[in-house]
Structure 1
Amino acid sequence: MGRIYRKPGFLRSLNQAWRGMMYTVKTQKHVQFHLFAGSAVLLLAWWSEVTRLEWLILILAIGSVIGAEVMNSAIETVVDMVQPNFHPLAGMAKDIAAGAVLVTAIQAVVIGFVVFLPPLLRLASKMF
């Protein structure tokens, strides 16, 4: 008789997700960079005294970039597993996943300019 599959409980699923995130943070330089950049943006937001809505938009942008980078890492891992030798389609799949990260990163930069440029211009006008 076959084994009955049981779904893992919530805490086990949460632990597996945490383990995956920690592995990604430890092994992926781009994730480390985005975490550093996101932290710097949050410090700048605190210093700039942005509004609650601006905080939410910045947090969403940072989370989108990091989430896209984590998904990119997962896709690259699976592609490497199923196609360890070079194959043009495997390379294209990895490039497309990286492109998704690029889209979210560009979006985050634009959001950063929209949020931070006015207060920085006001500060500059007071200084000069």
Structure 2
Amino acid sequence: MDLKDPKTSEWKRFYKSFKFAWNGIFQTFKSERNFQIHVYISSLMIILGFYLKFTMFDWVVILFLIGGMLALELMNTAIEHVVDLITEDYNPIAKAAKDAAAGAVLVYAILSVIIGVILLLRHI
């Protein structure tokens, strides 16, 4: 990353930061099965939302759930990569960090499913 290069203009650095972010999303999608599952389920919920004619409030809730889930999964992936980069040997603290990040994703996923089911039941 050359975002700190003083010769690079402010707008060019701004553009490149978005490019790096999209690259992180696409790389995670290509390499992480759980992220792929979240994207497919999110796509299904969006299709169902159009089919069931979700209200504006329903869309706001669903989009916050989807965005939060994908963002949390990206953070989990980043934590796993950093921990793996720091230590190749088994380390109980490294395991605890990775497990905690995965646990955060699980908590949000369960919450998202419960809220999603509630919203779907209102329309069925």
TM-score when normalising by structure 1: 0.86
> Is 2:54 aligned against 1:50?
yes
> Is 2:100 aligned against 1:88?
no
Gaps of 5+ in 2: none
Gaps of 5+ in 1: 121-128
Which string of whole-angstrom CA distances, capped at 9 and with x for unpartnered residues, describes residues 51-104 of structure 1?
011011101101111111110000000000001111011001000000110111
Equivalence for 2:15: 11
Give % identity.
36
C-alpha distance in structure 2 between counterparts of 1:40 and 1:10, whole Å = 33
Larger Rg: 1
TM-score when normalising by structure 2: 0.89
C-alpha distance in structure 1 between counterparts of 2:123 and 2:16, whole Å = 45
Q: In the TM superposition, what is the alpha-carbon distance from 1:5 to its structure 2 partner? A: 5.1
> Is 2:32 aligned against 1:28?
yes
CA RMSD of aligned residues (A): 1.5
C-alpha distance in structure 2 between counterparts of 1:40 and 1:5, whole Å = 42
Equivalenced residue count is 117
Letter of the structure 1 residue corresponding to residue 91 of structure 2: H
C-alpha distance in structure 2 between counterparts of 1:89 and 1:60, whole Å = 32
> Is 2:98 aligned against 1:98?
no
